[in-house]
Structures are given as C-alpha cells and as structure tokens.
Amino acid sequence: MTASSTPQEIPAATLDIVAIGNAIVDVLARSEDAFLAQHALTKGGMQLIDAAMAETLYADMPQAKEISGGSAANTLAGLAALGKKCGFIGQVNDDQLGAVFAHDIHALGIRFDTPVMHGQVPTARCLILVTPDAQRTMNTFLGASQFLPEAAVDFDLIRSAKILYLEGYLWDPEQPRAAMRAAIDAARGAGRKVAFTLSDNFVIDRHRGDFIDLIDQGMIDILFSNEGEIQSLAQIDDFDKALSRFADKVPVLVSTRSEKGAVAMVDGVRHEAPAATVAQIVDTTGAGDLFAAGFLAAHIDGRSVEDALALGAAAAAEVISHWGARPEADLGVIRDALFA
C-alpha cells in the first residue's frame, strides 16, 4: 500500500472517520495524594515512563482494573456508540494486553486491522491514579505503539473515510510521526478532512513548529485543544488572543475549558456552550476524548455548531461520571434526549 493514488482510484467514503493513535490499555487505581508524593508524580499531569518505571509503579499501585484506552481510540469508542462507522490504526504487540485491546475495539464495531508487532516491546499501557478529588495522574509507557511504521498504515482505509483524526500524543515518536504525515497527504489527496487533537502541553512544547506549519499550510480542518493547550501553541497567556491567533487559519477550532464549557471558532465566528451538569465527578480521564467524539458526531451529521458543542459536553459529562475513559451509558439515548 502506498500513499499515492490517482483521483480515479479513490473510493467513495464508506467510513465516517479513521483515527491514528496510541493503542493503549489503561490500568486504573484509586490513590491518595500521599502515594503521588511518594513516587514524585505531578498530580493531574501526564508523563511518559520507561519499561522499568512502568514495572515498579505497577507493582506499587493499589488494586487496579484494566480498560482499553488511548486518546484517539477513546474518541472512536464514543463515535461508534453514536452510530458512526469508524476505523483505527495503531500498533500493539502480540501479547496479552494487545489481545485485550484488539478484542475491545472490535467489540465496538470499529475496524482495526493494523499488523501486530512481534518481539520484546510490549503493548503500551497507561497507569492512571485517580485521587479522591477525581483528578487523574497518568503515567504512560508507550511500548509498541510508538513504533508504528508508515508501512503499517492502510492508506486505502484513510481514503475511504470522510475524516482522518490524528492524536497529538503519537506525533512525539519518530516513526508514527512519519506515518501520520503520509496519512495527511493521503487524506488531503482524496479530498478528505483532517482533524487533529493537540493532546498535551508537553507534546506542543516539543513539536510546536510542526503543528504551526501544518496549520499555516492549511493541512488541518478541525483542531481540538483545551484552554491551556491553545495558549501554549500560540505562546500567549490569554485565551481569547490565543484563539484569535489561529481562528482564520483553521476552519473549525474547538477548545474546551473544563467547568467553563467550550468555545468553537468556525470560519472565524465564535460559538460558546456551557459545561453539562454532572451529579458527581468520579474520574476525568477521557473527558476531552469524549467531547471530541460528541462534537464530531454532530458535525458529521451536519448539525449546528451549538448542537455539536452541546453533544460534546454531554458525552464528556457521561464519561467523567464513572471510572474509565470509555462511555458506559448509551450515548445514543443521551443524544436523542438532548436534541428532542
């Protein structure tokens, strides 16, 4: 499979969205602040760890449960729950956690055919510690996912989807970054839209130049961020000014602001929506991922920007009301009630 294709060879869109991201299994445990301090972990943050620290931290963690995760895969889980046809490209090892990830994503009806990696680099895992205030501290060992090669990317699959969705976290390692660049070229060549999520400030700090170049070149149609990320990208300590920095370069620019709701700049016009009400916040893992799912589902359906923001907020509210980054309630029911 190659990234090049003539227009005559481009198939009609048969999928709504294909995502490229880390194929990760989340390991979640409740934790006290003292445990974070003991292990010198920054509360509420995300850090990359090596195999040795992953083993040590896992051994010290309280009782935990395993749930397939990964930012883009979480977004697809939400989209699939909302009836969208999805495909995922990401790499696991031929090991137990790899089998868990593949089983879970197939069970959602998501196409996942990326060849497994063989050898001693295990499937990625994210060790997540959730404190009593519902803050999650993520410690990620990227494992096999960070070695996704361009050769493993199904470019026909990318051309078959209306939207290519890229996870910023996976831009950090060299091989997946090259694969994602080729995927962007394939999507743009097929006249498809490209959506990108910035993921985290540490990714922006390392690759700000790349991201701004993609934006300046008109390669990004839909950009997702949170308040801190868009300010980091713009290097402006003012949210409104940071949005304005990119509003005329990205057709759809979406930024979440936690309890302050979310803002979307669409063709330069600002739209705002409040956060959805949550009876109890249990675990904020996946809030941004599910917001993107709700927003994209409404966007694909041709709904208004206000509807897209509202469905994003509702999906995010569902996922933070329980443990784990995948929806448990029926998002279709939530959507139908919201738009009744």
pLDDT of the residue at 166: 98
pLDDT of the residue at 303: 98
Reduced 3-state DSSP string for the chain: CCCCCCHHHCCCCCEEEEEECCCEEEEEEECCHHHHHHCCCCCCCEEECCHHHHHHHHHHCCCEEEEEECHHHHHHHHHHHCCCCEEEECCCECCHHHHHHHHHHHHCCCEECCCCECCCCCCEEEEEEECCCCCEEEEEECHHHHHCCHHHCCHHHHHCEEEEEEEHHHHCCHHHHHHHHHHHHHHHHCCCEEEEECCCHHHHHHHHHHHHHHHHCCCCCEEEEEHHHHHHHHCCCCHHHHHHHHCCCCCEEEEECHHHCEEEEECCEEEEECCCCCCCCCCCCCHHHHHHHHHHHHHHCCCCHHHHHHHHHHHHHHHCCCCCCCCCCCHHHHHHHHCC
CATH code reported for the domain at 15-22+70-93+106-114+146-339: 3.40.1190.20
pTM for the structure as a whole: 0.90
**Averages of pLDDT over each 10 residues, the chain, 340 residues:** 48 91 92 94 89 89 90 97 98 94 96 94 92 89 95 96 97 95 97 96 95 98 97 97 96 96 96 93 90 98 98 97 90 96
Domains of the chain by residue range: 15-22+70-93+106-114+146-339
pLDDT of the residue at 66: 87
pLDDT of the residue at 115: 96
